[in-house]
Amino acid sequence: MATAVFAGEGTAARGGCSAECAGGIERPPDLGSRARAAGDGCAKRSVYLMECVPLWGCAAARGRAAEMEDACAAVPRFAALPARMLASSRELDGIGGDFDAAELRLPAHLFGVYDGHGGSEVANYCRDKIHVVLREVLKAGRGLEELGEVGEVDVKEPWEKVFGDCFQKVDEEVSGKAIRFSNGATELRPEPIAADNVGSTAVVAIVCSSHVITANCGDSRVVLCRGKEPIALSVDHKPDRKDERARIEAAGGKVIDWNGYRVSGILAMSRSIGKFSGFARPSLLSGQNY
């Protein structure tokens, strides 16, 4: 899994009052009366006191597969992010106003693409469940313990914990190794949701008024178009990467050049959700792979 956090330019404050936000609609979020008072006035409004509601679209092509194996998800306002997971206490204190920065939360929107292989079951499960599990992880406060006292800690660290726990939990559910929930009922004897040769990549972007947070497992990509310049926001997990090949071989696997480098001569990506390859599971996380 790879995680990245990107801040917009000028996150501390923005001059003027714009009615547009990256093609979407800008409006103040419900942050409580004291927080709203801090954001009143157009001369200097912090992006941490705004809500950017983006516009989105989705296009898909089946390609050579017999059926569509891919899925996508768009979940507006899927969670309210603690501002302390996005900025240091010094930056939040600079907002001004009479409110507790530790209680400030930003409305966030989630977008995901899941590229299935061997079938559509795992990709569809990721479409329906990753944002649910991610919301649960955030509500449980995962990642916040990494911060300790709000300080100058790299905001990337708690997000690595959050997405790592999320992807791991979904992978265990897909593989039948974790209790699943269906319509509020607990499945006490979960079974794998698909055959052993079915899996999916996962690439997720969380968008809020100040940051874009991305995470990926596999070779699906996030690309930001700024003006006419494409900017990569993710790094592919491919078997020909030196670090990924070393990790796979250390776990007892092999990378074979068979119509391109593949795990065990089969999987063209080095990480995946599902049981397609025991050496491509997100459970084999590497601290150097960020």
Helix (H) or strand (E) segment spanning residue 212: strand 211-217
Site of tokens 């009366």: 33
Burial degree of 135 (CB within 10 A; 0-12, 13-18, 19+): middle
Q: Which two tokens stand for residue 279?
A: 């050496």
Domains of the chain: residue spans and CATH? 2-236 (3.60.40)
Q: What is the DSSP string of 36-102?
A: HHHH-SSSSB-GGG-EEE---------TTSSS--EEEEEEEEEEEEEGGGTS-HHHHHTT-SSS-GG
Give the per-residue pLDDT at 282.
Answer: 47
Neighbours of 179 (CB within 10 A): 12
- For the chain (290 residues), the mean pLDDT of every run of 10, in chain order, is 56 36 47 44 63 84 88 93 82 69 84 93 95 92 57 72 91 79 53 85 92 91 90 89 87 85 82 66 34
Residues 6+ away with beta carbon under 8 Å from 13: 44, 45, 46, 47
**Torsion-angle region of 227 (φ positive above 0: left; ψ -120 to 50: alpha; else: beta):** left
Give the per-residue pLDDT at 223.
Answer: 92
Burial degree of 5 (CB within 10 A; 0-12, 13-18, 19+): buried
Measured N-to-C along each axis, helices 121-139 and 156-174 cross at an angle, to the nearest 10 degrees, of 130
Give the sign of the dihedral formed by CA 236, CA 240, CA 242, CA 248: positive
Q: Which of 69, 70, 72 is nearest to 110 (CA)?
A: 72
pTM, rounded to two decimals: 0.77
Residues 146 and 39: their CA atoms lie apart, in Å, by 29
Residues 271 and 218: their CA atoms lie apart, in Å, by 5
Give the per-residue pLDDT at 10.
Answer: 43
Give the per-residue pLDDT at 239.
Answer: 87
Give the per-residue pLDDT at 7.
Answer: 58
